[in-house]
Amino acid sequence: MAAAKFSIKTTSPFFLVLCLTVFLFFTLSCFADPDELQDFCVADLNATTILNWFPSKPVSEVTSNDFFYSGLVKEASTANPLGLGVRLGDVNNFPGLNTVGLSVNRADFAPGGVIPLHTHPRASEAVFIIKGEVLVGFITTTNVLYSKVLKAGEMFIVPKGLVHLISKERWTGEG
């Protein structure tokens, strides 16, 4: 039995519609807007269904307090083996951060305190020193160490996904 032949003429209306559909599909996907389509999305912390983000509160219920957070004012307790206390400024405590892609935390260190080696696969980290001194460093994917001792008022950025630490203890080495 001979195999059935299937062919589409490149001048046929079906082929033309198929090509236009594929072209239109790929063209429209390039016009997608990766940014938010609304001014803000204040988290509805009482929602029962949560997917990637908290659902938005109705705009009529949003107040200025949703964009304000004073939870970083008080020092956090450093009475633990790491000598580290952290106050979180994330969407659970600060609903205005929902969908912004940002969290702001306060870290307090006892002498010798440390935030051990860790990484944030999808986020960079900005370290700003309010008082005292800390050593901040990260290691690149080619095993190069970049570190600096920061003093009050100074800042250091850790690029997205790189292994890094913050320590109240000074080390010797290149910075």
Binding-site positions: 105, 118, 120, 125, 164
Per DSSP (E only), the strands in 15-174 are 84-87, 106-109, 114-118, 125-128, 133-139, 145-151, 155-158, 163-167
- The residue among 133, 129, 130 whose CA lies nearest residue 113 is 133
What whole-number distance in Å separates Cα of residue 78 and Cα of residue 27? 55
Both tokens of 76, joined, read 């956090």
What whole-number distance in Å separates Cα of residue 169 and Cα of residue 155? 17
Residue positions forming the annotated binding site for Mn(2+)? 118, 120, 125, 164
Helix (H, G, I), strand (E, B) or coil at 23: helix
Residue positions forming the annotated binding site for oxalate? 105, 120, 125
What whole-number distance in Å separates Cα of residue 81 and Cα of residue 172? 23
